[in-house]
Amino acid sequence: MSKKKIARILLVLAVVASLTLTELTPLSMVQDASAVTQADIDKLKDELSGMNSEKSQLEKELKSIQNDKSAALAQKENIDKQINLLQSEIKGVESLISEYETLITQDTACHSVPSPLVWDGYKEELEKQYGGKLTAFSFRNKANGWEAYHICAAFENGREFVQPAAENPYQRGFIKGLYSRSSCFACKFKGVARCSDITLADYWGVKGIQPEAYNPQGTSLILIHSEKGRSLLASCKDWLKLQPAAKDAFAFNSAVLTPVEKPARYDEFWAEYGQTPFNALVSACCEPTKEELMRERRSHSFLARVIRRLSR
C-alpha cells in the first residue's frame, strides 16, 4: 500500500474520532466549564476564608467555656476544702469521718443562705459606683454600737461606703428572705437539739429580756450540746463574761428554732431580677401585701386583748 493511501486512511480515522468524542461530551459540562470565571473562584476563596474565621471564633469560644468550667471546678474544690460549720454541713462531715477527740464542731443560728448571683450583682454595682475593686465588706460594723450597726465597704482606690444597715437595699432584701435559697424555707436543722458541740447565736432583745447581760457591742448566746463543747467553754471562761441565759432568750431570734418564712413577693422578685433596678425592686418587694397587713392587724389586735385582760 502506498504512503499516500495510508495517510488518507489515518486522516479519515482522526475525523471520525473527533466527531465521536464531541457527541459523547455533555453540553452542560461544556457550558459549566465555560461559566466558571475568576470572580467565582475569588468568591469561593472569600467564603472559605470566612468559614475559617468562624471556625477560629468557635474554637476561641469553646476554649473560653472550657476555661470557665475549669475555674468553676477550681472554685468548687476550694469551697469543698473550707468547712463552713453550719448544721447541715456538720451532719455531712460527721457522716464521713470517724470520731476525733480533737475535732470540735460549731454552728450558728443561721437566718438563711443568700443567692451568690444577687451578691455578685450587688458587688458589681458598688464597684461601678465607686470606681474600684471591692477589698473589704462588713455587714455589721459596730463602730456606733450593736443596735445601730452599719454596712461598710472599702475599695482599692481608697474610697469607702458606709450606710445604716436598715437603709441598705442588700441587707433589707436579705433579712426579708427575698433571695434566700429555696431549701432554707424548709430547713430541717432547727431547734435546740443539735448535732454540733456548740451553737452561737445573737441575743436579740437582750436589753429587755436580760438587762444585766446587755453590752453595747453585742451579746451572744452559746448553746452547749456535748461534753467537748462544755469543756471548751470552761477553758475560755477567763476571756469571756459568762452567765446563764434567760428562759425566753430566743424570743427575738426565731432563726434558732424555725426556718425563715418564704416572702409573699419571693417569686415576684425573681421574675423581675435583672430587669428592674435592684434598689427599686427590693423596696417594692419589701412592701407588705394586703394579706400580710391584715395578718399583722389581727396579731396586734389579739396582743392588745391579751394585754388588757392581764392588766385587769
211 vs 99, higher pLDDT = 211
Is the four-CA dihedral 46, 48, 52, 53 of positive or negative sign?
A: positive
Q: Please tell me the predicted confidence (pLDDT) of residue 135.
A: 96
Q: State the average pLDDT over residues 67-79.
A: 60
178 in Cβ contact with 269 (< 8 Å): yes
pTM of the model: 0.63
Q: Please tell me the predicted confidence (pLDDT) of residue 33.
A: 41
| SS3 state of residue 251 | coil
Q: Please tell me the predicted confidence (pLDDT) of residue 43.
A: 64
Q: Please tell me the predicted confidence (pLDDT) of residue 78.
A: 53
- For residue range 199-258, what is the model confidence (pLDDT) as tens digits? 999 999 999 999 999 998 889 999 999 998 999 999 988 999 999 999 899 899 999 999
Name every residue whose Cβ is closer than 8 Å to that of residue 27 and which is 6 or more positions away in sequence: none
Highest mean pLDDT among 28-32, 141-145, 210-214, 303-307: 210-214
**pLDDT at residue 188 tops 60:** yes
| SS3 state of residue 277 | coil
pLDDT above 90 coverage of the chain, percent: 44
